[in-house]
Chain A
Amino acid sequence: MRTASDEDTTELAAARTPGAAASGSLLQVSGLHSGYGNLPVLHGVDLAIATGQTAVLLGLNGAGKTTTAQNICGSLKTWAGHIVFDGQDITRWNTKRCVGTGIVMVPEGRRVFPGLSVGRNLQVGAWSQRRDQDWVDQQLEQVLTYFPRLRERLNQLAGTLSGGEQQMLAIARGLMARPRLLIIDEASMGLAPVIVKDVFDIVRRINADGVTVLMIEQNVGALEVADVGLVMERGRVVRTLVGDELRDRSAVSEALMG
């Protein structure tokens, strides 16, 4: 286990070197238009995330962050543009197919199954992997190592967990689906700052173990774990932050506030 993850980490380090993003792109979104009903929300979103990166999609309410994520994971119809994942055009794929290929979204507002136990929630998370029970058992062990608190509460109903624990469960449930790209929508929303820090730490660990992560955030603190920051405004990605720009709060706020 240890050696495997060490290997992963070295691979990731390689992927993070400048220039790797262009060639080792796991997700490439170009000219994305979409919306709800007749209401357009996205007006040509372009973004790219390299294998092994942690990307943070920042923006104010209504900028189109969640809409973009829903297009990527196949739960919202794409009007125009292309989404390419690992070399495959997945623009017209439905959620089930996207989950099958490794695009997993942890929805905004956690959305755990309140009437099911923590263990059952994780079991449903692994639905797409149900034919590989050995892997599911291994992954459950791994996930419970990330979240020891959930191990203590396996038989407790998810609805009785605290907000922070529910967010952990939502991420853990997402990990059970064998993600190659894990999209986490507004993980920090409504959580105490100390819990938010825990969530970001976990994201860092998950990423170090080889999962590419796309975080959707209004909390600029998320940039501390990011390799790339994507700033959205009125349905477009208006700025891409890398390297020192990510740590420079004034540049970030300027990008966010226009």
Chain B
Amino acid sequence: MSASTTDRPAPLEAEVDVPPTGDGSGDRAGLSDRLSRSVAEHRVGLIWSGAVVVLAAAMIAAGMDVGAMLVNGLGAGAIYAMVALGIALVYRATRVLNFAQGELGTMPAFVVVLILLGGDLDGFVDPAQVSFGQMLALTGLAVVIGASMAVAVNLFIIQRLADSSPVTSLVATAGVALLLIGVQVVAFDLQSRTFPQFFSGSIRILGLRFPSHTLVIACVLAVASVLLVGLFRTRLGVALLASAQDPFAAELHGVSAKAMSSLAWGIAGGLAALGGVLGAGVFEGITPGLMTTTFLVHAFTAAVLGGIGSPAGAVAGGLLLGQVSAMANTTTVGLGISVPNAPTLAAFVVLLLVLGFRPLGLLGKEA
């Protein structure tokens, strides 16, 4: 502590801008400062956003339905974001790329189907017969199942592989995904089954037609994000972050690395289950491996786009990727060009651009 007297601030100043518990109440003072700094840091992203706005204007001029595009992009993007958020949390806490993140969602969604069918696998779920309350209860159950499965994967597989190379863990999670898909195929056959939404129909807001289900997805994502931000401000959330940064040092203070990684996996599993129930709702149907085949690649792209390991980046990346995919779809259809699977193609192009020009992602930090 060789504090020279010259650079020490006046005592009064120190009193003012240093709250005793460091609970973040002093953050507000430097908001504009932080804003300008983050603008400087993310100027590449801002340039891209500007380019997107110009592109959108051109599309409107060409008579394309940009409103519908934004709505479609939001629905898909919010699911990408939800799955990507789970991937980011798990990566941050255990440095594992979780390829089972999709199936940790499909599986609970299939349990929901099983319950709705009353165990009769030859039956058929009539979405009109499923009440909101019932749907809410089943979603809650799905979240519990997803979280439990994720915690089990962490405790019985990931923690046991803690000393091995990250690739081993990655392959193990891919194995879990394949196993879960196998279980689904055996139990439910390779056929599509109807899946209910919370609300059907659509609502007009600001002249845009929003499917009710899209709004539900967006709200769930918003609530989940707010809860997570809140968690990271609590003592538990801070311990989780600390354990993710240095498990050994955290253990020396009694923070169990096993418990903290399980917490991260549990939250990710809950998010996966929400993604599964809402993702199946998008198609109003479910097939084995649904989340892996339709959302996982986009979610990984979103997580990389946002900066792998950054929860805020995952949400931003997911929403952005949703818009890119929707834009690819609208432009190709609008211009009458036939590009097979344009949205996925666009996602891969984005992934390659990010890896080529900004491998850290939009909000990623130096490792």
Contacts and interface: CB of A to CB of B under 8 A. Distances in A.
A206 to B, nearest CB: 13
A168 interface: yes
B231 to A, nearest CB: 14
Nearest to B365: A115
B22 A119 contact: yes
Contacts of A111: 246, 248-249
Interface in A3-47: none
Given A118-B22, A124-B238, A155-B22, A194 B250 contact: no
B1 A147 contact: yes
Given A116-B245, A151-B18, A198-B2, A177 B254 contact: yes
Nearest to A123: B238
Contact of B242 (A99, A113, A118, A148): A113
A128 B235 contact: no
Contact of B252 (A107, A119, A152, A154): A107
Interface string A110-146: 0111111111111111111010000001001100000
B241 A123 contact: no
Interface string A211-241: 0000000000000000000000000000000
Nearest to B8: A152
Question: Do most interface residues of chain A lie in helix, strand or loop, or is the interface mixed?
Answer: helix
A115 B252 contact: no
B253 A177 contact: yes
Interface string B16-41: 01111111101100000000000000
B253 A140 contact: no
A190 interface: no
Interface in B228-255: 235, 238-239, 241-242, 245-246, 248-255
B249 A154 contact: no
B25 to A, nearest CB: 10
Contacts of A154: 18-19, 22
A113 B19 contact: no
A75 B252 contact: yes
Interface in A80-103: 95-96, 99-100
B22 to A, nearest CB: 2
B242 A107 contact: no
Contacts of B239: 124, 127
The interface size bin for chain B is 20 to 34
Contact of B245 (A73, A115, A117, A127): A115
Contacts of A176: 253
B1 A124 contact: no
Nearest to A168: B1
A105 B252 contact: yes
A198 B1 contact: yes
B8, B26, B249, B365: which has the most chain A beta carbons within 10 Å?
B249
B9 interface: yes
B253 A115 contact: no
Contacts of A127: 235, 239, 250, 253-255
A189 interface: no
A123 B19 CA distance: 13
A137 B23 CA distance: 13
B248 A130 contact: no
A137 B1 contact: no
A239 B9 CA distance: 48
Nearest to A73: B252
A151 B2 CA distance: 14
A152 B18 contact: yes
B335 interface: no
A113 B245 contact: yes
Contacts of B252: 73, 75, 95, 99, 104-107, 174
Contacts of A124: 238-239, 242, 250, 253, 255
A149 B3 contact: yes
Contacts of B251: 75, 95-96
A195 interface: yes
25 contacts: A75-B248, A95-B252, A96-B251, A100-B254, A104-B253, A106-B252, A107-B248, A107-B252, A113-B242, A113-B246, A113-B250, A115-B241, A119-B21, A119-B23, A120-B22, A120-B242, A128-B253, A137-B20, A137-B21, A141-B20, A149-B1, A154-B19, A155-B18, A174-B253, A195-B2
Given A113-B245, A113-B249, A113-B250, 12 more contacts: A96-B251, A107-B252, A114-B245, A123-B21, A125-B253, A127-B235, A127-B255, A130-B235, A154-B22, A168-B1, A174-B252, A198-B1
